[in-house]
């Protein structure tokens, strides 16, 4: 399908084709951030995390669409079945695509909800505070801002590095490999009720975007895993990302959250990162407190905008 946008340059909208596109989307995010415009843009690691992990039970060829021409990718978006909505990323050099991609997001998400018989009557989209082009596109498509809960994007300088201390008997390390899939599934489930099976995690570890050397864990005295984080590196922009971060519910109130954040910051410094990012919901007081204590401050907020499904 080919469309003509306002700049009179043809841009093709196509479906996600495979793992090579995941890498291309990560490069797109890094290139977009290199313009210096950061509001509304996700980290390269977020793109990989969404395609390979967050929506692991769905086929990205059905959910993800990419807009590109001979000069490269101008925008991309994906239907989010978990949240009855969609997320989109538009390159700062292609603001003309904003309205088209928002319109696609509504149409594709509404169709997914109806076709799959979901008991939902609305589509949810991200409206980033201060991102006028996104607000204008959402407003033109008939979306309205609702609710008070926001996703808060936060950051801090990687240095100065914090001192990391662990309770007696606990030790920090990175993941060894697929033989730890069951331990990793358990700690993710203990932190988030994520629904991982050992096979789920083993499958995830086989994907190109996963690197056991980037998953930092804290091992408990009994050999189980008590806390974890995966760190991501945008080497072009020297930005590190924590996604996700978790402490098993049976090991909380021991300072492990601060410890895992400190370990991640030390790893980012080793890899040459200058800035670290992490995201949380404004309604999640525990995460907000953890990240604030680790020195993170808000850089922008994401509101929910809603449009009823037309019948």
Tens of pLDDT along 227-237?
A: 999 999 999 99
| Tens-digit pLDDT profile for residues 87-118 | 999 999 999 999 999 999 999 999 999 999 99
75-79, 164-168, 194-198: least confident range? 194-198
Please state, as a whole number, how many other Cβ atoms lie within 10 Å of the Cβ of residue 132: 10
Domain membership of residue 293 (yes or no) is no
Residue with tokens 């662990």: 166
pLDDT of residue 147: 79
294 lies in some domain? no
Residue 252 lies in a domain: yes
Residue 54, pLDDT above cutoff 90: no
Considering the domain architecture, whether residues 103 and 228 belong to the same structural domain is answered as no
Are residues 144 and 47 part of one domain?
Answer: yes
Please give the pLDDT value at position 297: 98
Residue 287 belongs to a domain: no
The answer to whether the CB of 152 falls within 8 A of the CB of 299 is no
Other CB atoms closer than 10 Å to residue 303's CB: what's the count? Answer: 19
Same domain, 35 and 142: yes
Integer Cα distance of 237 and 249 in angstroms: 35
Residue 130 lies in a domain: yes
In this structure, the answer to whether residues 240 and 198 fall within a common structural domain is: yes
Burial 195-216 (b: 16+ CB within 10 A, else e): ebeeebbbbbbeeebbeeebbb
Q: Do 198 and 262 share a structural domain?
A: yes
Residue 194 has pLDDT above 90, yes or no: no
List the domain range (segments joined by +) for residue 184: 159-273
Counts of helices then strands in the chain (DSSP H, E): 9, 13
Q: Is the predicted pLDDT of residue 3 greater than 50, yes or no? A: no
Burial code (b: 16+ CB inside 10 Å, e: under 16) for 26-65 equals bebbbbbbeeeebbbbbbbbbbbbbbbbbbbebebeebbb
Whether residue 43 is found in the same domain as residue 119: yes
pTM of the model: 0.94
pLDDT of residue 232: 98
Residues 239 and 188 in one domain: yes
Same domain, 6 and 145: yes
Provide long-range contacts, Cβ within 8 A and 24+ apart, for 270-274: 271/233, 271/235, 271/240, 272/235, 272/238, 273/158, 273/233, 273/234, 273/238, 273/239, 273/240, 274/157, 274/158, 274/159, 274/238, 274/239
Residue 281: pLDDT over 90: yes
CATH of the domain at 247: 3.40.630.30
Please give the mean pLDDT across all residues of the chain: 94
Domain presence at residue 284: no
- Residue 79: is its pLDDT beyond 60? yes
Burial 92-123 (b: 16+ CB within 10 A, else e): bebbbbbbbbbebbbebbbebbeeeeeebeeb
Total domains present in the chain: 2
Per-residue pLDDT, averaged over 43-69, amounts to 94
Domain check: are 11 and 127 in the same one? yes
- State yes or no: pLDDT of 6 exceeds 60: no
Mean pLDDT lowest among 142-156, 178-192, 250-264: 142-156
146 with 208, same domain? Answer: no
Q: Which residues, listed in sequence order, are joined to residue 304 by a DSSP beta bridge? A: 126, 146
Could you tell me which residues come within 8 angstroms of residue 72 by beta carbon, excluding any fewer than 6 positions away?
28, 31
Residues 134 and 32 in one domain: yes
Q: Is 89 left (phi over 0), alpha (psi -120 to 50) or beta?
A: beta
The beta strands (E) that lie in the chain are given as 2-4, 10-15, 64-69, 72-80, 85-90, 122-128, 144-157, 171-174, 215-219, 225-234, 239-247, 275-281, 297-308
Please report which confidence band the pLDDT of residue 67 belongs to, taking 50, 70 and 90 as the band edges: very high
Pair 218, 191 in one domain: yes
Query: pLDDT value at position 82?
Result: 82
Is the pLDDT assigned to residue 181 strictly greater than 90? yes
Q: Is residue 78 part of a domain?
A: yes
Written as six digits, the tokens of 210 are 């996963």
Q: Note the pLDDT of residue 5.
A: 42
Q: Report the C-alpha gap between 180 and 186 in whole angstroms.
A: 10
- 285 lies in a domain? no
Query: Are 208 and 22 contacting, i.e. CB atoms less than 8 angstroms apart?
Result: yes
| Per-residue pLDDT at 1 exceeds 80 | no
* Of the candidate ranges 134-143, 146-155, 247-256, the one whose mean pLDDT is the lowest: 146-155
């Amino acid at each position: 399908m080919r469309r003509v946008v306002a700049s009179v340059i043809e841009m093709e909208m196509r479906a996600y084709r495979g793992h090579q596109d995941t890498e291309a989307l990560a490069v797109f995010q890094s290139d977009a951030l290199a313009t210096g415009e950061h509001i509304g843009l996700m980290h390269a690691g977020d793109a990989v995390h969404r395609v390979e992990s967050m929506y692991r039970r769905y086929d990205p060829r059905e959910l993800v669409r990419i807009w590109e021409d001979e000069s490269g990718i101008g925008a991309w978006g994906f239907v989010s079945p978990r949240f009855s909505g969609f997320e989109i990323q538009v390159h700062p050099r292609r603001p003309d695509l904003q309205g088209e991609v928002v319109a696609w997001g509504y149409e594709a998400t509404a169709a997914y909800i109806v076709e799959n018989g979901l008991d939902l009557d609305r589509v949810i989209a991200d409206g980033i505070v201060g991102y006028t082009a996104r607000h204008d596109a959402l407003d033109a498509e008939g979306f309205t801002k609702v609710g008070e809960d926001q996703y808060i994007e936060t950051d801090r300088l990687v240095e100065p590095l914090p001192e990391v201390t662990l309770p007696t008997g606990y030790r920090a390390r990175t993941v060894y490999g697929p033989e730890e899939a069951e331990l990793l599934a358990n700690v993710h489930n203990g932190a988030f009720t994520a629904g991982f099976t050992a096979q789920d995690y083993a499958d995830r570890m086989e994907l190109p975007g996963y690197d056991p050397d980037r998953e930092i864990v804290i091992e408990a005295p009994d050999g189980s895993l008590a806390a974890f984080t995966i760190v991501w590196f945008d080497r072009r922009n020297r930005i590190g990302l924590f996604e996700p971060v978790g402490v098993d519910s049976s090991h909380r109130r021991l300072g492990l959250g601060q410890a895992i954040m400190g370990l991640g910051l030390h790893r980012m410094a080793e890899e040459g990162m200058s800035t670290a990012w992490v995201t949380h919901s404004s309604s999640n007081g525990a995460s907000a407190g953890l990240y604030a204590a680790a020195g993170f401050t808000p850089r922008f907020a994401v509101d929910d905008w809603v449009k009823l499904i037309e019948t």
